[in-house]
A and B are shown apart, each in its own frame.
Chain A
Amino acid sequence: MKTILKLDGLNKSFGAIKVANGLSFEVREGDALGVIGPNGAGKTSMFNLITGTFAPDQGSVVFAGKDVTKHSAARRSHAGIARSFQVPQPFSGMTVFENALIAATQAAKLKGHDAEQLCLNVLEQTGLLPKANVLAGSLTLLERKRLELTRALCAKPKLLLLDEIAGGLTEAECRSLVQTIKDIHATGVTIIWIEHVVHALLAVVDRLIVIDFGCKIAEGDPQAIMNSPEVKKIYLGIEADA
Chain B
Amino acid sequence: MNIQDYTVTRTSNAIRVAAILGFIVLVALIAAPYWAGRADLRLMGELFLYLALASLWNLMAGYAGLVSVGQQAFVGFGGYMLFALTMFAGLHPIPAIGTAGLLGALISVPVAFLIFRLRGAYFAIGTWVIAEVFRLSFAQISSLGGGSGSSLPIAIVKSLAGSRGARESLSYWLALGAAVLVVTSVYVFLRSRKGLALTAIRDNELAAGSLGIDIWRTKFVVYVVTSALTAMIGALIFLQKLRISPDAAFSVNDWTAFVIFIVVIGGIGTIEGPIIGTLVFFALRETLADLGTIYLLVLGVVAIVVMLKFPKGVWGFIRQRFDLQIFPLAYRVARRDNKGA
Contacts and interface: CB of A to CB of B under 8 A. Distances in A.
Interface of A: 51-53, 72-75, 77-78, 82-83, 85, 89-95, 97-98, 101-103, 105-109, 111, 116-117, 120-121, 124, 129, 132-133, 151, 155
Contact of A74 (B3, B202, B209): B209
Contacts of B203: 90-94
Contact of A107 (B3, B211, B215): B211
A106 B208 CA distance: 9
A95 B200 contact: no
A120 B193 CA distance: 18
Contact of A116 (B8, B207, B209, B269): B8
Interface in B1-26: 1, 3, 6, 8
B206 interface: yes
Given A95-B330, A97-B333, A155 B212 contact: yes
A91 B213 contact: no
Given A72-B214, A74-B213, A107-B212, A97 B331 contact: yes
A155 B211 contact: yes
Nearest to A78: B212
Contacts of B333: 97, 120, 129, 132-133
Contacts of B331: 95, 97-98, 101, 116
Contacts of B159: none
Contacts of B213: 74, 102, 106
Interface in B179-229: 193, 196-197, 199-200, 202-204, 206-215
Contacts of A91: 199-200, 203-204, 207-208
A107 B209 CA distance: 9
Contacts of A94: 199-200, 203
Contact of B197 (A78, A83, A102, A133): A102
Given A93-B269, A98-B196, A102-B197, A120 B8 contact: yes
B38 interface: no
Contact of A124 (B3, B8, B200, B210): B3
Interface in B146-173: none
A102 B6 contact: no
Contacts, number: 104
Interface of B: 1, 3, 6, 8, 193, 196-197, 199-200, 202-204, 206-215, 269, 330-333
B215 to A, nearest CB: 7
A139 to B, nearest CB: 13
Given A89-B206, A102-B196, A74 B8 contact: no
Contacts of B212: 74, 77-78, 103, 106-109, 155
Contacts of A73: 209-210
Contacts of B210: 51, 53, 73-74, 77, 82-83, 85
Contacts of A103: 211-212
A77 B210 CA distance: 6
Nearest to B312: A93
5 contacts: A85-B210, A91-B199, A97-B8, A106-B200, A151-B211
A85 B8 contact: no
Given A90-B203, A151-B211, A155-B211, 8 more contacts: A52-B209, A53-B206, A89-B206, A91-B208, A93-B203, A93-B269, A101-B196, A105-B197
A93 B201 CA distance: 11
A121 to B, nearest CB: 6
B227 to A, nearest CB: 24
Given A98-B330, A106-B196, A133-B333, A90 B211 contact: no
B333 to A, nearest CB: 4
A45 to B, nearest CB: 14
A147 B232 CA distance: 42
Contacts of A85: 206-207, 210
Nearest to A77: B212
Nearest to A89: B207
Nearest to A161: B210
Contacts of A121: 3
9 smallest CB-CB distances across A and B, nearest first, come from A107-B212, A91-B203, A77-B212, A132-B333, A89-B207, A73-B209, A106-B212, A116-B8, A107-B211
A139 B291 CA distance: 48
Nearest to A123: B333
A100 to B, nearest CB: 10
B207 A53 contact: no
Contacts of B214: 72, 74-75
A126 B199 CA distance: 24
A98 B240 CA distance: 43
A39 to B, nearest CB: 21
B222 to A, nearest CB: 16
Nearest to B333: A132
Nearest to A73: B209
Contacts of B200: 91, 94, 102, 106
